[in-house]
């Protein structure tokens, strides 16, 4: 590893300094021929980085981790996790590195993290590398999620390494540079708990409070307040996923953040036809992480966090009390999720403020039932309701098979004078349509980046209709969604 001659960039190593038991100092594999594929210039500016400098040879070496600023300590982070329900006590960053933390222009501490940078001691037999397609997928979808206003890790750059990666075939390799408020996860606490080191668990919780939920420090029971804050953050996050039809695909506990940001865009996708049973991940054979299961799984994952944190909630001789406190705090997930879901769905239907829930809730549920029964595209239906609220009902009506049921529902809904402009502000027109994502990734893997530009332009400005982007608002062909699968990329 060499030192990058970029004196304007300073990377702290607070995580490694405060939690050395969860950090293994490591360095990225060499990238024989780094070539920039995508650079997020607005994010670079937000981080106080010079986009022009990142495009230089030295900048590319920074983005693949082979050259870092003096004083930086890149580390692979250790964590555990329940993967599809089975506990693995030692997972960690098998193909990723935390280069360090930097302070953005608004004074916020943020991680600069690499994915696909080579094997680490946590690799467990994997090659530690990543292919161009999956790294571009994370870039596109994470930036789309950000544009939708959903808390997420961000993508700074994708750099081709000049090295081939062997999967089913040989594929071009790449490294993703991403940014997060941190990479602390439920699995981080599980790792600390299984170590048996009570002091490490406490230091990890203190680090999480300081970094993400500082108000908890003032609570009577700061660690219980930290847990409660994570419950709230995850309840609100998953409600947002459900509203836009996002399917994460692999909600293992090592993919559930303490910050409440969406992380690790592997076998993820957006709904085509609305169906709670939708599964896109090639490895989710039992449908554990199906679209409709996401709130239940999030609650289950948070229960695992509570188990890991139990020693912090009460003294050792009062563990029954600790369990009572944890159960009560976890019990807030469902009402908080329900409140966030209800508020979001009311907004998507343009319902007036103060409408009695006895009126609003059936309208929401009946519309979702109609969507499912008619195999109606989730995104198109909600967006076209805006036109219906302005009096042009036919475009959305024509999506449904049971016209009588839709008409009955529509009459009740329109009688409430839904706010069409407000609906257009929350119902996206452009999302990362699965067929268009695959089209762009296939072309990029073959060396053609042209399809990525207009796709990114559409999904990073999802609400305002623009001429020339009609295909980015059009659902996939009828036979596409039924057979579509996504892969984790490892």
Is 357 in the active site?
no
CB within 8 Å of 190: residues ≥ 6 apart = 79, 80, 81, 82, 87, 89, 253, 304, 305, 308
Closest CA to 345 of 332, 333, 362: 362
Q: Which of 206, 254, 284, 301 is catalytic?
A: 254
Q: Which residue has the tokens 């976890």?
A: 330
List of long-range contacts for 192-200, beta carbons under 8 Å, 24+ apart: 192/21, 192/22, 192/308, 193/307, 193/308, 193/309, 193/311, 194/80, 194/89, 195/21, 197/21, 198/311, 200/19, 200/21, 200/22
Secondary structure (DSSP) of 72-139: ---EEEP--EEETTEEES----SSEEEEEEEE-TTS-EEEEEEESB---TT-TT---B-BHHHHHHHH
How far from the centroid of its chain's Cα atoms is residue 344's Cα?
18
Q: How far is residue 283 from each of residues 249, 251, 274, 288, 439, measured CA to CA in Å?
A: 9, 12, 21, 10, 22
- Encoding tokens for residue 176? 């993703």
Q: Residues near 78 by Cβ (< 8 Å), separated by ≥ 6? A: 21, 22, 23, 24, 90, 91, 92, 93, 122, 188, 191
d(C-alpha 395, C-alpha 286), whole Å: 36
Residues recognised as catalytic: 254
């Amino acid at each position: 590893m060499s030192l990058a001659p970029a004196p304007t960039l300073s990377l702290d190593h607070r995580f490694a300094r405060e939690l050395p038991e969860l950090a293994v100092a490591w360095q990225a594999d060499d990238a024989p021929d780094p070539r920039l594929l995508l650079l997020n210039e607005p994010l670079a500016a937000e981080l106080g980085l010079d986009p022009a400098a990142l495009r230089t040879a030295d900048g590319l070496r920074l983005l693949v981790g082979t050259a870092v600023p003096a004083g930086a300590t890149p580390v692979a982070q250790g964590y555990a996790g329940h993967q599809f329900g089975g506990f693995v006590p030692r997972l960690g960053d098998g193909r990723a590195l935390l280069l360090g933390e930097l302070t953005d222009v608004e004074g916020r501490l943020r991680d600069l993290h690499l994915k696909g940078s080579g094997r680490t001691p946590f690799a467990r037999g994997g090659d530690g590398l990543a292919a161009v397609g999956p790294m571009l997928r994370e870039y596109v979808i994470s930036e789309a999620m950000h544009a939708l206003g959903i808390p997420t890790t961000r993508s700074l750059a994708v750099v081709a390494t000049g090295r081939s990666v062997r999967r089913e075939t040989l594929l071009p390799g790449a490294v993703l540079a991403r940014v997060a408020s941190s990479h602390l996860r439920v699995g981080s606490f599980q790792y600390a708990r299984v170590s048996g080191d009570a002091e490490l668990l406490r230091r990890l919780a203190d680090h999480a409070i300081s970094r993400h939920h500082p108000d908890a420090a003032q609570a009577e029971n700061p660690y219980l307040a930290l847990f409660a804050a994570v419950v709230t953050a995850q309840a609100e996050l998953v409600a947002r996923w459900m509203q836009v039809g996002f399917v994460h695909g692999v909600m293992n506990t090592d993919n559930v953040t303490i910050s409440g940001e969406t992380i690790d865009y592997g076998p993820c996708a957006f709904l085509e036809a609305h169906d709670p049973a939708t599964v896109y991940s090639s490895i989710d054979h039992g449908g554990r992480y199906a679209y409709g299961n996401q709130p239940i799984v999030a609650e289950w994952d948070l229960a695992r966090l509570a188990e890991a944190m139990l020693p912090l909630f009460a003294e050792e001789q009062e563990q029954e009390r600790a369990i009572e406190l944890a159960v009560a705090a976890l019990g807030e997930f469902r009402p908080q999720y329900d409140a966030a879901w209800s508020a979001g769905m009311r907004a998507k239907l343009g319902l007036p403020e103060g409408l009695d829930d006895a009126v609003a809730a059936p309208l929401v549920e009946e519309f979702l039932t109609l969507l499912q029964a008619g195999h109606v595209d989730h995104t198109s239906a909600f967006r076209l309701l805006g036109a219906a609220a302005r009096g042009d009902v036919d475009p959305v009506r024509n999506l449904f098979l049971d016209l009588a049921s839709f008409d009955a529902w529509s009459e009740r809904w329109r009688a409430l004078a839904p706010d069409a402009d407000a609906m257009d502000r929350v119902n996206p027109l452009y999302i990362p349509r699965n067929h268009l994502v695959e089209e762009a990734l296939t072309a990029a893997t073959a060396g053609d980046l042209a399809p990525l530009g207009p796709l990114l332009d559409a999904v990073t400005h999802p609400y305002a209709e623009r001429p020339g982007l009609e295909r980015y608002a059009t659902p996939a062909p009828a036979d596409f969604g039924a057979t579509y699968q996504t892969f984790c990329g490892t």
